Amino acid sequence: MENFDLLNPTKLVFGRGTIARIGEEILAGGHKKVLLIAGGGSIKKNTVYDQVIASLKDSKIEWTETWGVKPNPVLSKVREMIKEAKESGAEALLAVGGGSVIDSAKAVAVGLYIDDVWQAFEAKKPIEKAMPVYSVLTISATGTEMNQYAVVTNEEEKKKWNIGGPALYPKVSVVDPSVQATLPWNQAVNGALDTMSHIMEYYFMDGEAETALTLNESLLRSIIKMTDKLKLDPNDYDSRANLAWAATLALNGTSGAGQAGGDWACHGIEHAISAINPAVAHGAGLGVVTPAWIEYVQDTNPDIFRRWAENVWGGKDIKDGVVAMREKIKEWGNPTTLAEFNIKESQVEEIASNAVDFGLTGSLKVLTKEDIMEILLLASPEV
């Protein structure tokens, strides 16, 4: 089991009816004016926007609004919002939406203090300061509501890269699982798959971290069970709440404790896929890539992959686990091959090169461009 440091300064306000508290939390942080950052408008259909505005009014918080964050957030929009934040005189940022909205807010928070925010993504500028970020989460998936990371795509360069640092932890995040009942089914599945991937990126690293392994197996089984139940009843609050809490735990530092920092090759490959084809949802892409990656690298640590197959999927060997995972994803109605994303054979090399450039090529097995091309072919025999 590896040594680790664990610090998480984010205050999480979780449960039904908690959106009403966001105004008082911002006021308690010493802020009286915010820039509200949002996506395409779904928060106006599910009552979240009205609840947020009522809370801001009750606490006498002034606000201005900026809309239009995309599901795979882009650098051009971040730059636009940096300018808006400066002009608005905001003292803090309030992200209301899913992971893309919160990640965009984090990028804006950094970009207010350096000349070009992309320099932070390229590691040319250290992240020393950021404007305070508050969030109201509407889609549980990325864990960004309680971690220090953000992902944005430079659409001109086709680079979907990330930043991270202690300054990027949200000050307060509100998670009301009840508002997620209106999510389209495929978005709920994508969130579950993203959450599972976060856990598995850590899980396969260290067979001696028994506490983390047992915790993560339980989380994976819970995610599968809750998603199955939500397929039958989208309004099942307890299942929705358990899934939301699992998504937060998957990437707030808890699941990775003692796990050597994780592998993250699957995320690197998926980022390369959706940087080239932004229509590919992150969780959906991970659902295709992860089983193929397991098939390709299983011999590097066969005992831990076998344990995963047995304890999570009830299989007898690694192949059983991979098959069971793909079958579950099919049962949930999601793609299991790259061909279903219309990825062509001619794009495989470009995706692999992009993934290598991104730098998340794994720790359990450091992947070359040729390795990644093989994984992509395993992920879609039809390509």
- CATH number of the domain where residue 303 is located: 1.20.1090.10
- The DSSP-derived string for 261-304 is T---HHHHHHHHHHHH-TTS-HHHHHHHHHHHHHHHHGGGSHHH
Do residues 115 and 202 share a domain? no
- pLDDT for 358: 82
Residue finishing a domain among 123, 148, 178: 178
> 248 and 124 share a domain?
no
Would you say the C-alpha torsion 82, 86, 87, 88 has a positive or negative sign? Answer: positive
Greatest Cα pair distance in the chain = 60
Q: Is 383 inside any structural domain?
A: no
Q: Do residue 104 and residue 208 come from a single domain?
A: no
211 and 168 inside one domain: no
Q: What is the CATH number of the domain that holds 31?
A: 3.40.50.1970
- 89 lies in the same domain as 202: no
Asked if 193 and 32 count as a contact pair (C-beta separation under 8 A), the reply is no
The long-range contacts involving 111-120, CB below 8 angstroms and separated by at least 24 positions, are 111/78, 111/79, 111/82, 112/82, 112/85, 112/86, 117/75, 117/78, 117/79, 117/82, 118/75, 118/154, 120/163
5: in domain: no
The closest alpha carbon to 17, from 136, 135, 156, belongs to: 136
DSSP 367: P
Q: Are 360 and 270 in contact (CB under 8 A)?
A: no
CA distance 49 to 43: 5
Query: Does residue 197 lie in a domain region?
Result: yes
Residue 329, CA distances (Å) to 66, 129, 334 in order: 35, 41, 6
Give the structural domain span for 367: 184-378
Contact of 309 with 315, CB cutoff 8 Å: yes
Output the pLDDT for position 382: 59
Say how many C-beta atoms besides its own lie within 10 A of residue 188's C-beta. Answer: 24
| Pair (128, 250) in one structural domain | no
CB 129 within 8 A of CB 167: yes
Q: Indicate whether 153 and 188 sit together in one domain.
A: no
| Among 132, 62, 134, 131, residue whose Cα is nearest residue 94 | 134
Please tell me the total count of domains within the chain. 2
Domain match, 36 and 162 both:
yes
- Surface-to-core class of residue 123, CB atoms within 10 Å of its CB (0-12 exposed, 13-18 middle, 19+ buried): exposed
Bridge pairing between strands 133-137 and 172-175: parallel
Q: Rounded to 10 degrees, what is the CA torsion of 315, 317, 323, 325?
A: 60
Contact 33, 61 (CB under 8 A): yes
In a domain, residue 196? The reply is yes
Residue 134 lies in a domain: yes
Distance of CA 262 to the CA centre of its chain: 15
Q: Is the residue at 22 inside a domain? A: yes
Mean pLDDT by 10 residues, the chain (383 residues): 88 98 98 96 93 98 96 95 97 97 98 95 91 97 96 92 95 97 94 97 88 96 98 96 97 89 94 91 96 97 96 97 97 96 90 89 94 94 58
d(CA 108, CA 106): 5
Residues 357, 161: Cα–Cα separation, whole Å: 10
**247 in a structural domain:** yes
Contact 96, 135 (CB under 8 A): yes
| Distance in angstroms (rounded) separating the CA atoms of residues 80 and 316 | 53
Domain end: 116, 145, 178, which one?
178
Helix orientation angle between 185-203 and 237-250, rounded to the nearest 10 degrees: 40
Domain boundary among 153, 178, 203: 178
* 168 & 247 share domain: no
Q: Could you identify the residue written with the tokens 């779904």?
A: 42
- Whole-model pTM? 0.93
Could you tell me if residue 113 is inside a domain? yes
Based on the domain organization, do 352 and 218 belong to the same domain? yes
345 and 207 within one domain: yes
Is there a single domain that holds both residue 142 and residue 173?
Answer: yes
